[in-house]
Amino acid sequence: MIKLSSIITIVFITSFLILSCKNNSNTEEKMIDEKEFGKLNDGSVVTIYSLKNEKGATAKITNYGAIVVSLCVPDKNGKMEDVVFGFDSLEGYVNNKTFIGTIVGRYGNRIGKGKFKIDNEEYQVTVNDGNNHLHGGNVGFYKALWNSKAEMTADGPSVKLEYLSKDGEEGYPGNLKIQVVYTLTNNNELDIKYTATTDKPTIINPTQHSYFNISGNMEKTILDNELWIDADYYTPIDSESITTGKLDSVQNTPFDFRKPTKIGLRINDENEQLKNGQGYDHNWVINNADGTVKKVCTLYDAESGRLMEVLSDEPGIQFYSGNFIDGTFTGKNGIKYQHRTALCLENQHYPDSPNKENFPSVRLNPGETYSQHTIYRFLIK
């Protein structure tokens, strides 16, 4: 077995060279760069890909967990800064359980009691969040080593990742083959396309789980960011954060983001739903969702001038306001991540859909192809 201390030393040196938003002169000439990110305990080599577009924006993607390690985009003065949480080493991702930067699945978000039925047969998946199932279980997609390949496309540098989730993994039925393609477009977009197939009826609801702080200052809270969500309704939750099955109006509630609103304005209101989530940790029901890609959400940081647009073909989006970040773990550049210094905007089907007949279906059958398309677009306002 490889000694952990040796791995940390190697990875620290490698990470010091690759994780900065400032590239050396040789790397600047490359649109795609590929390096070893470290080794897992079984000796498997983990790769990290550095992508750079024509405008100088960069992204780092690793095939461990299909993780977005960094994403550097310009502010209003042209300064490139990293806008996502992450770690300086592979070990940070191996040891952390907060899904930072990963693709989660098979089922992103929660399944009540970890139970669901397909054709009257009940399945029990891993219970890893109190009494419930969260983000695919103890391993899921986010702790898997994906097959990967980088290539140039007409839109920009790209990384293709593929994973076979075997029948019975975390309790899910069917051998599921999933492909995720990240492209850093020349329009400063992180474009994410998913496809998947199965050999047995199963359920699927993957999502991208980056923690964003678009100010570029990971010690600053996200409470002054202005959020807009194209949703008249959201799905309320119970005390265990499981959806009740209802669609409630956002009108006259802290959940109304139909006009750009500072996140901190109502986050501490005396509201039962906010208490259940310990802040915002809810799914919004996208207006007029019809399976086509459209703008569903925007996030704006006035100080940096960065505007992030979220485009998706999914019927829901989970907004999580970093309620459980508590300074207990250290991220990139030695920063201890504090309460509400990042947020997640996860495009998805509704939580606990397999147990709610009125929610859009997440079933995938043999012969069908699952697809999803999400875009995080960065602009200056």
Annotated active-site residue in 133, 346, 349, 373: 346
Going by DSSP bridges, is the β-strand pair 226-229/363-364 parallel, antiparallel, or unpaired? unpaired
Question: Which residues contact residue 81 at a Cβ distance below 8 angstroms, ignoring those fewer than 6 apart?
Answer: 21, 72, 73, 75, 216, 217, 304
Q: What is the dihedral of CA 134, 329, 219, 102, to 10 degrees?
A: -40
**Which spans in the chain are helix H?**
4-18, 25-28, 90-95, 272-277
Question: Which residues contact residue 269 at a Cβ distance below 8 angstroms, ignoring those fewer than 6 apart?
Answer: 254
Q: Tell me the two tokens of residue 288.
A: 């007029």
Q: How far apart are CA 9 and CA 32, in angstroms?
A: 25
Q: Nearest 5°: CA angle at 374, between 372 and 377?
A: 165
Distances (CA, A) of 238 to 107, 111, 276, 311, 352: 19, 13, 6, 28, 12
Nearest to 298 by CA among 283, 274, 319, 315: 319
The answer to whether the CB of 216 falls within 8 A of the CB of 336 is no
Q: Is 239 left (phi over 0), alpha (psi -120 to 50) or beta?
A: alpha
Distances (CA, A) of 321 to 72, 164, 213, 369: 21, 32, 11, 32
Q: How far apart are CA 199 and CA 366, in angstroms?
A: 5
Q: Is 121 a catalytic residue?
A: no
Q: Is 339 a catalytic residue?
A: no
The answer to whether the CB of 336 falls within 8 A of the CB of 330 is yes
Annotated active-site residue in 133, 169, 189, 209: 209
Asked if the peptide bond before residue 306 counts as cis, ω within 30 degrees of 0, the response is no
Q: Which residues are catalytic?
A: 209, 346
